[in-house]
Structure 1
């Protein structure tokens, strides 16, 4: 008698599709295969519970932050989280960089992120992860000093790296992931 693990896969149609468009497949795999997984499998009681976990997505938009400069949203709310797109130091009124200064651009990018988070119903204190992309890594300490003003208590996890180039000739771009209360 060979032991096996049940594996369930779910296939979901686009958001807002009727539940009938979702399919569930069950199969059995040998334990030796199941044990090679790097993570334990996620188990859902039903397709309905899987849909509840994956949830729907909601676009977050505000005119208090610059409009997206491409085919993306300012932010998306999904799974009790807010995913803020990379924010440049653009003025919301003009869509132009505030100045050529990395300090000014960082300050404005952080203000833009704050407005987008506010439109999503949270603030800086809900941020759990940010990514900072710099045109020049030598600006790290200047950007870090301004960034620190916005996350004084329990700062989020963060990655910072130098990008080859940023949109519109920007010197800094910052994205953010926040959790909903």
Structure 2
């Protein structure tokens, strides 16, 4: 039998649909996609891509911490960008939040994201 728990924190945006911020099964945490919403106002933090990327990683960090982990515990990271020309900026911002060894990662260009966001990230963490 697995040990399953829902992770929720007020330090990250509340779910805007029928999902949990994260679900922990044994020592693996599946983090739902985070967009650049301010957790208090539930509005996009900015129209600027770099500021949106910073907020996304702050939101992911808050959910990691609520699960008793950290960004360093992320083993797989999936990134969604509405414009792949922002790829170098994602790498720059990621360097502000992650240190080697980096998680495995995918970066996918998408047509659009919820609430008009420019960037979203989801992750799998092992603690």
TM range (shorter): over 0.9
Please list, as runs of the form range in 1=range in 2, the aligned pairs for 1:75-154 lying within 5 A after superposition.
75-154=22-101
2:4 is aligned to 57
For residue 85 of structure 1, report the CA deviation from its aligned partner: 0.4
Give the CA RMSD over aligned residues.
Answer: 0.8
For residue 79 of structure 1, report the CA deviation from its aligned partner: 2.9
Residues paired across the two proteins, number? 127
Gaps of 5+ in 2: none
Match of 2:15, SS state, is: coil
For residue 56 of structure 1, report the CA deviation from its aligned partner: 2.9
2:28·2:126 contact (CA, 8 Å) conserved in 1? yes
* Cα distance in 1 for residues equivalent to 2:103 and 2:120: 16
Larger Rg: 1
For residue 119 of structure 1, report the CA deviation from its aligned partner: 0.3
Residues 2-42 of structure 1 show CA distances to partners (whole Å, capped at 9, x for unaligned) of xxxxxxxxxxxxxxxxxxxxxxxxxxxxxxxxxxxxxxxxx
Match of 2:17, SS state, is: coil
Output the TM-score relative to the length of structure 2: 0.97
2:124 is aligned to 177
- The partner residue of 2:110 within 160, 163, 173 is 163
Match of 1:159, SS state, is: strand
Match of 2:31, SS state, is: strand
Q: Which has the higher contact order (CA 8 A, sep 6+)?
A: 2
- The partner residue of 2:13 within 59, 62, 66 is 66
Moved over 6 A (4+): none
